Amino acid sequence: MQNSIVLGLGKDIAIYNIGRQLNDINERKDIMALMTRDQYIESLRKLDLKVYMFGKLVENTVDHPIIRPSMNSVSMTYAFAEKPEYEDLMTATSNLTGEKVNRFTHLHQSTDDLRKKVKMLRLLGQNTAACFQRCVGMDAGNALFSTTYDTDKAYGTDYHQNFRKYWEFVQKNDLTVDGAMTDPKGDRGLSPSQQADKDLYLRIVERRPDGVVVKGAKVHQTGMVNSHEVLVMPTIAMRPEDKDWAIAFAVPTDAEGIFMIYGRQSCDTRKLEEGADIDVGNKNFGGHEALVIFDNVFVPNERIFLNGETDFAGELVERFAGYHRQSYGGCKVGVGDVLIGAAALAADYNGAAKASHIKDKLIEMTHLNETLYSCGIACSAEGYPTEAGNYQIDLLLANVCKQNVTRFPYEIARLAEDIAGGIMVTMPSEQDFRDPNLGPYIDKYLKGVASVSTENRMRILRLIENITLGTAAVGYRTESMHGAGSPQAQRIMIARQGNLGHKKELAKAIARIDESKK
Ligand SMILES: Cc1cc2nc3c(=O)[nH]c(=O)nc-3n(C[C@H](O)[C@H](O)[C@H](O)COP(=O)(O)OP(=O)(O)OC[C@H]3O[C@@H](n4cnc5c(N)ncnc54)[C@H](O)[C@@H]3O)c2cc1C
Ligand code: SF4
C-alpha cells in the first residue's frame, strides 16, 4: 500500500506523505516546485484510491481506458505550465511563498490575475475540448482563503492560518485539488438537520480533541479520481440548528474511509471497444465525475477551515459559486471554439460552406460564444480585493455569465447539429468502416466533397457528436446547466445584486416623477 506523492526534480526527490499520515504534513521537506506532466502522472500512481466502476474496484485508475482521457485533460494543466510561451498565463507568483506556482493553485492578487484565469481556461478548453477538472479546487481555494479570514474576524478562530498553511502545501507540491461542495441533498424542501436521513448532507458525527470524524457523501465530483486532495465545503446557507453540517476541511483523496463510484457518461463504453478511435470522437481527452462516499473519515484540527459557524456557510457557497460561474466564461468558450471549428469543417466537407445561412449560423455561434467570454472577462475586470487580500470577481456579472452559459452552449450545439446533418447520428461504426467487405461501401456512400476523405468527414462528425451528445456533452451541456448551481440559483443572485431600487430612482429622475404629488 503506497500513499505518498513523489516529486522528482532532477536529483532532488522529495517524498511527501499525504496519504493517511496527515500529522506528517508539517514535517514534510519543502521544495518549490512546478510538477511536470510526467511527474503528475507518476504522482497519481502512488495514491491508494478506492474507485469502483461497473461494480468492481478499479486496480489501476491511471491507465484505465475510461478514466485515462480525463486524466490526460488534467495533465494538460501541468504540460501547458511547462511551455515558455504560456508561462505568463499558466503560472503566477504566490502571495504565500513568493515563488512561481501553477495558476491553478494561485490565490488571485489582481483583476489581471482574474482575467488571466479566464484566458487560461479558454486555452485549455481549446486544447482538450473537454473538462480539465482542476478549476474546482482553484475556485474552492480562493473562496476559502477569504471566508476563513472573515470567520476568524467574527469568532477569533484559527481557520485562516490553517488554510494558509494548507494552501502553501498545495502550492509547493503543485497538487490537484477536488472542490467538493454538492451534497446529495435528499428532500430539497428540507434543511440538513430536517432530513429523514441525516447523512444526506455531509456532517460531523464525532468531535475529538485532535479533530472531527465526518460522514456523508459528495455527488458529481469533477476530477476526484485525478486529484491528490479533496477540499470539502457545505453546499447551502445554514441555520444554527445545522451546526454539525457547517464543516469545511481538506483530506487526501486516499484518506481512510473515502471511496468513489465512477459516474457513467453517455457512450462511455465506446472507449472499451477494440482500437477505439473515430467512434469516441475525442480519443485523447475527456472529463469525469464521481459519487464520493465519506465513511467516517477523520479530519485533524489543522485541516479544518469551518466548524459549526453556520452563518459563514452561505458566504462560502456564494464566493465559490461566483468564482466557478466566472470559470465557465473561459472553459466552455474554449470547448465552444472547437465545436464551432468542427461545424465549419463539417460544412466544408459537405460542400455547403458557401451557403449564406451556413455562414450566418457560424457567425451566430461565434457571437454566442464570444458573449460568454465577454461575461467571463467583464466579471474579472470588475473584480475587487477581499479583506483577506485575494481578489473576488464581480458577483452580478459572474452570475449573468453563468446564466448565459445555461443557454448559449445549447444553442451553439443546436446550430452545430443543424450544420452537421443527420449522418452524425446514423453513421455506421468504425469497425464496419475498417471491415474489408463493408468498408468500401461506407467509404463510397459517406463521401462528401471529392477532395476530402470519408474518414476525415467521419472524424469531424464524431467529434460534434461527442461534444453535443456523447461523453463530452456531460461537460458542455448538462454541466453548463447545473454545474456551479442550477439556473434559478443565478436568478436569485441576479435579483439580489441587480439593485432594482436604484434603477427605479433613475427612471423617476428622468421622468421627473414627484411622489409627493398624490
Ligand atoms: C457535470 C457536473 C459536474 C459537477 N461538478 C461538481 C463538482 O466538481 N463539485 C461540486 O461540488 N459539485 C459539482 N456539480 C454539482 C452542481 O453544483 C449541482 O448539479 C447543482 O448545484 C445542482 O444541484 P443538483 O444537481 O442536486 O440539482 P437539484 O438541486 O436536484 O436541482 C434540480 C432542479 O430543482 C430545483 N430545485 C432544487 N432545490 C430546490 C428548492 N429547494 N426549491 C426550488 N427549486 C429547487 C433546481 O433549481 C433545479 O431546477 C456538478 C454538476 C454537474 C452536472
Ligand atoms: S467545467 Fe470548466 S471550470 Fe469546471 S472544472 Fe471543468 S473545465 Fe474547469
> 338: Cβ below 6 Å to ligand 1?
no
d(CA 479, CA 328): 10
Based on the residue annotation, tell me whether 505 is a catalytic residue of this protein: no
**62 HSE (CA, 13 A, CB side):** 13
Instruction: Give the SS3 label for residue 303.
Output: helix
Angstrom distance (rounded) from CA 151 to CA 312: 7
Give the model confidence (pLDDT) of 188-221 as tens digits.
Answer: 999 999 999 999 999 999 999 999 999 999 999 9
How confident is the model over 292-324, as pLDDT tens digits?
A: 999 999 999 999 999 999 999 999 999 999 999
Cα distance between residue 118 and residue 245, in whole Å: 32
Q: Which helix (H) or strand (E) holds 461?
A: helix 454-468
Instruction: Please tell me which residue, 16 or 131, carries the higher pLDDT value.
Output: 131
Q: How far is the CA of 383 from the centre of ligand 2 (A)?
A: 20
In this structure, the answer to whether residues 284 and 397 fall within a common structural domain is: no
Q: Is the pLDDT of residue 18 over 70?
A: no
Ligand 1 geometric centre to CA of 483 (Å): 7
422: CATH: 1.20.140.10
Q: Which residue has the cell 473538462?
A: 131
Q: Is residue 461 part of a domain?
A: yes
**The ligand 1 atom nearest the CA atom of 481:** 53
* pLDDT, mean of residues 344-355: 98
Are 40 and 180 contained in the same domain? yes
Write out the three cell numbers for 55: 461494480
Q: Is the pLDDT confidence value at 7 over 50?
A: no
Q: Flag whether 515 is in a domain.
A: no
pLDDT tens digits, one per residue of 26-61: 333 444 489 999 999 999 999 999 999 999 999 999
d(CA 15, CA 121): 30
Q: What is the pLDDT of residues 414-435, one digit of tens each?
A: 999 999 999 999 999 999 999 9
**Residue 145 domain-assigned?**
yes
Distance of alpha carbon 309 from alpha carbon 240, whole angstroms: 8
Q: What is the pLDDT of residue 311?
A: 97
* Cβ atoms 124, 334 nearer than 8 A: yes
Quick one: which ligand is closest to 224's CA?
A: 1
Nearest-atom index, ligand 1, CA of 487: 47
Instruction: Give residue 17's pLDDT.
Output: 37
User: Which pLDDT score is estimated for 474?
Assistant: 98
325, containing H or E segment: helix 313-350
Is 201 one of the annotated active-site residues of the chain?
Answer: no
Question: Closest Cα to residue 168, out of 214, 106, 109?
Answer: 106
Burial of 497 (0-12, 13-18, 19+ CB in 10 A): middle
Q: What nine digits make up the cell of 309?
A: 459557524
Measured in whole angstroms, the distance separating CA 227 from the mean position of its chain's CA atoms is: 12
Last residue of a domain, one of 310, 325, 350: 310
In sequence order, what are the residues at sequence separation of 6 or more whose Cβ sits closer than 8 angstroms to the Cβ of residue 315? 147, 150
- Whether residues 306 and 331 share a domain: the answer is no
**pLDDT tens for residues 211-253?**
999 999 999 999 999 999 999 999 999 999 999 999 999 999 9
Same domain, 305 and 336: no
Which residues have any ligand 2 atom within 6 Å of their CB? 121, 131-133, 135-136, 222, 327-328, 331, 475, 479, 483
Domain co-membership, 271 together with 343: no
Contact 53, 262 (CB under 8 A): yes
Is any ligand 1 atom within 6 A of the Cβ of residue 478?
yes
Say how many Å lie between the CA of residue 34 and the centre of ligand 1.
Answer: 34
Predicted pLDDT at 111:
98
Please identify, among 284, 310, 336, the residue that sits at the C-terminal boundary of a domain: 310
Q: Is residue 516 a part of any domain in this protein?
A: no
Computed over every residue of the chain, the mean pLDDT equals 94
Same domain, 109 and 138: yes
Tell me what pLDDT residue 220 has: 98
Instruction: Indicate which atom in ligand 2 lies nearest the CA of residue 475.
Output: 1
241 with 394: CB under 8 angstroms? no
Q: Do both 271 and 329 map to the same domain?
A: no
- pLDDT for residue 51: 98
> How far separated are the first and last CA of the chain, in Å rounded?
81
pLDDT, tens digit, 9 for 90 and up, residues 72-104: 999 999 999 999 999 999 999 999 999 999 999
Distance 251 CA to ligand 2 centre (A): 21
Centre a 10 Å sphere on the Cβ of residue 489 and count the other Cβ atoms it contains: 19
Instruction: With beta carbons less than 8 A apart as the criterion, state whether 413 and 365 touch.
Output: no
The CA distance from 255 to 162, in Å, is 19
- Residue 103: give the domain boundaries: 4-310
Of these residues, 64, 105, 289, 468, which one is catalytic?
289
441 is a domain residue: yes
| 408: in domain | yes
455 is catalytic: no
Which residue, judged by its Cα, is nearest atom 32 of ligand 1? 486
- Which ligand 1 atom sits closest to the C-alpha of 474? 1
CA distance linking residue 167 with residue 159, whole number of Å: 12
Q: What is the pTM (predicted TM-score) of this model?
A: 0.94
Residue 444: pLDDT band (50, 70, 90) is very high
Are 259 and 295 in contact, with CB atoms under 8 Å apart? yes
The CA 331 to ligand 2 mean position distance, Å, reads 6
- Are 273 and 283 contacting, i.e. CB atoms less than 8 angstroms apart? no
Give CA–CA dist 138/104, Å, rounded: 5
Beta bridge partners of 207: 212
What is the distance in A from the centroid of ligand 2 to the CA of 125?
A: 9
- Other beta carbons within 10 angstroms of residue 333's beta carbon come to 28
* Of 285, 310, 335, the domain-final residue: 310
Question: Which of 40, 201, 328, 349 is flagged as catalytic?
Answer: 328
For the CA of 233, the nearest atom of ligand 1: 11
Instruction: Indicate whether 507 belongs to any domain.
Output: no
Pairing, β 290-300 against β 211-218 = antiparallel
Quick one: pLDDT at residue 518? 79
H/E element, 506: helix 500-511
Give the count of domains, the chain.
Answer: 2
Could you tell me whether strands 51-53 and 56-57 are parallel, antiparallel, or unpaired per DSSP bridges? antiparallel
Q: Which pLDDT belongs to residue 33?
A: 80
- What ligand has the least distance to the C-alpha of 316? 1
Query: 260 with 383, same domain?
Result: no
In a shared domain, residues 405 and 459: yes
335 and 453 housed in the same domain:
yes
User: Looking at the structure, do residues 237 and 129 belong to the same domain, yes or no?
Assistant: yes
Query: How far is 92 from 404, CA to CA, in rounded Å?
Result: 29
**CA atoms within a 13 Å half-sphere pointing along the CA-CB vector of 457:** 26
Instruction: Write down the pLDDT at residue 422.
Output: 98
Asked if the structure places residue 24 within a domain, the reply is yes
Report d(CA 207, CA 199) in Å as an integer.
Answer: 16
Q: What is the CATH number of the domain that holds 187?
A: 2.40.110.10
With bands split at pLDDT 50, 70 and 90, how would you rate the model's confidence at 23?
very low
Residues 323 and 292 in one domain: no
pLDDT tens for each residue of 267-285: 999 999 999 999 999 999 9
